[in-house]
Every structure is written in C-alpha cells, then in structure tokens.
C-alpha cells in the first residue's frame, strides 16, 4: 500500500506549469510504483492501476489513475496593480497587514461583492498590502466558470495566491483569453484594456499606463509616472460619489481598524482618507465594474 503523499508536490509543479491540480490524499493498492523528483517536477507512478483519464496542457501530459481522481483545471493570472491609497512613491505600504485584526480569510463575502470563496491562510505571506478580488470575463464581458479568486496584493504590486504561488489561481477555469477585473475594497475597480491570454507567462501590468485599464480615465497618475486604482470608492460600487463621502463621514474617526473607510490603508480613519476622496469625487468606473 503506497500513500499518495506526493500529491501536494505534484500539485505545485503542475500549477507552475499552468496545468492541473488536486488535493486529495487517498491510498491505492498497486503491485509496484515509485517516485522521482528533478528539474522542478515530481512524478509518482503505480503499476497495475487502471488509467482513468489523460490530461494535457501545453507540453505537459498526465495520465491519471483512480487514486488521483479529482483533478481540476487551474488557470494562472500574473498581474500587477497599484492602489493609490497605499502607494508611497516607490511601492505600497504594508501597514495594514500588521494589524492583529487583519483577516486571514478573504473579506469579499459581503455586499456588493457577495463572493463566497473559501480563500484563506494560516499565516500571512510577507509584504501583504491587502486582499484583492479578481474576476475573469469572456469576450462579451460575461462571468466565466471558475473565474473568481481572492488573492493577496503585495507591496510591489504583484499578486500572491493563498496557495503560496505568484499570481491568482483560478480553479475550474479553462485556458483562454479573458478580460481581467481587479477589485479592491475601497478603490475604483479596473478591467484590462484587452483580453489577456491565460495562463500568462509575463505579468499583465496595469501600472505602466492609464490605458492598461479599459475605458477612459480609469486609473490615476501616481508619483513616478506610474498608474494606480483611484482611492475612495468606499462602498465599492464602481463610482465615486457623495455616497462615498457619506460612508466615510458616517464611519467617523477610528484607530487600529480594518475598515473600508480607511482609503490609505494605514489602519486609521482620519482626514487623510477624506483627502484621498476629495479629488477623486465624480470619477465613474466603466459599466463592467459597477454594481
């Protein structure tokens, strides 16, 4: 009897290859088998076990027995975004993630997102700015199966999945061309200017130009010639209006909190957050990102 303890390693390697993953650890009785590792890949095999499926992705081929029964496509997105509120001229502040109350599970399970994903971690990775909620849309901007994922935003603007790998891991999505929507709790959401072929080997970089986001005036020019999401869409409905001011005003001053009224993500709700709202009032997100 050979325990399939290699599965986690196998999962990691195949995710890195933009292929498949699963998470079961069942056992199987087989007449023989083995395990090998090298070059960033691991392989296990059993002899005498019926093959139940053959999976391919790019140049990777995997035949699957019944002790590896639950493979699921993972499509990887690599992207980079800045949040105006957290941006410090070079990268983004990670002040918020020093809070004891910083959530270890994704916070987009409330209105307006109502995303019920189970993304969470036991301990935060390094350099976390906050959680993001990322969506894939098809050519008609419609949601796609498996096209929702909450991930960490790191100080350099890159994404970090809760599975420990760079980027966002869309479980159950299929490789293809997608518009990518990036949402944050209190910044104006953006969508990629064009469809992005996923999995992507090079990062889709929203920060290099306003026009990396779909539509006119959907990103703000930041210090240093880079661009980021507009701060202070406090109610995250895709437009920055007096309703956002009211959200801020009704929340009132607070310290050491994880709260949507904290536009600059410094754990405090102060006039600094209003000062981010004021110049951004009346910025309107494209239809695809509005709730």
**Which residues are at the interface with Ca ion (CB under 5 A)?**
233, 235, 237, 244, 262, 264, 266, 268, 273
Q: Nearest distance from residue 211's CB to Ca ion, in Å? A: 23
Q: Nearest distance from residue 104's CB to Ca ion, in Å? A: 21
Toward Ca ion, which CB reaches closer, 119 or 244?
244
Q: Nearest distance from residue 134's CB to Ca ion, in Å? A: 19
CA angle 173, 20, 119 (to 5 degrees): 60
The secondary element (H helix, E strand) that includes residue 176 is strand 176-184
DSSP letter string over 73-86?
Answer: EEEEE-EE--BTTT
CB-based closest residue to Ca ion: 262
Toward Ca ion, which CB reaches closer, 200 or 259?
259
DSSP letter string over 229-268?
Answer: BPB--TT-SSB-SHHHHHHHHHH--BSS---TT-TT-SS-
Q: Is 11 exposed, middle or buried (0-12, 13-18, 19+ CB in 10 A)?
A: buried
Toward Ca ion, which CB reaches closer, 53 or 271?
271
Toward Ca ion, which CB reaches closer, 114 or 140?
114
Q: Nearest distance from residue 59's CB to Ca ion, in Å? A: 46
| Rounded Cα gap, residues 223 and 276, in angstroms | 14
């Amino acid at each position: 009897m050979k325990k399939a303890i290699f599965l986690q390693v196998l999962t990691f390697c195949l995710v890195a290859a933009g292929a498949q993953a699963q998470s079961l650890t069942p056992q199987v009785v087989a007449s023989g088998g083995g395990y090998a590792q090298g070059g960033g890949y691991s392989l296990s095999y059993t002899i005498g076990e019926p093959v139940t499926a053959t999976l391919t992705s790019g140049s990777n081929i995997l035949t699957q027995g019944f002790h590896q029964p639950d493979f699921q496509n993972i499509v990887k997105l690599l992207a980079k975004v800045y949040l105006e509120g957290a941006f410090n001229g070079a990268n983004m502040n990670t002040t918020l993630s020093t809070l004891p109350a910083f959530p270890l599970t994704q916070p987009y399970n409330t209105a307006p997102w109502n995303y019920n994903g189970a993304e969470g971690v036991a301990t935060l990775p390094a350099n976390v700015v906050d959680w993001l909620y990322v969506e894939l849309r098809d050519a008609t901007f419609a949601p796609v199966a498996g096209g929702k994922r909450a991930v960490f935003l790191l100080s350099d603007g890159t994404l970090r999945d809760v599975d420990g790998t760079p980027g966002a891991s869309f479980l159950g999505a299929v490789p293809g061309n997608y518009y990518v929507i990036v949402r944050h709790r209190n910044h104006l959401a953006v969508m990629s200017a064009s469809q992005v072929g996923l999995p992507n080997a090079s990062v889709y970089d929203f920060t290099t130009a306003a026009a990396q986001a779909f539509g006119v005036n959907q990103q703000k020019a930041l210090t240093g010639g880079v661009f980021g999401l507009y701060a202070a869409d406090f109610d995250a409905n895709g437009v920055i209006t007096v309703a956002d001011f009211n959200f801020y005003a009704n929340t009132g001053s607070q310290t050491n909190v994880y709260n949507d009224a904290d536009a600059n993500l410094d754990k405090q709700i102060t006039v600094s957050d209003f000062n981010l709202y004021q110049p951004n009032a009346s910025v309107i997100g494209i239809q695809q990102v509005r709730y």
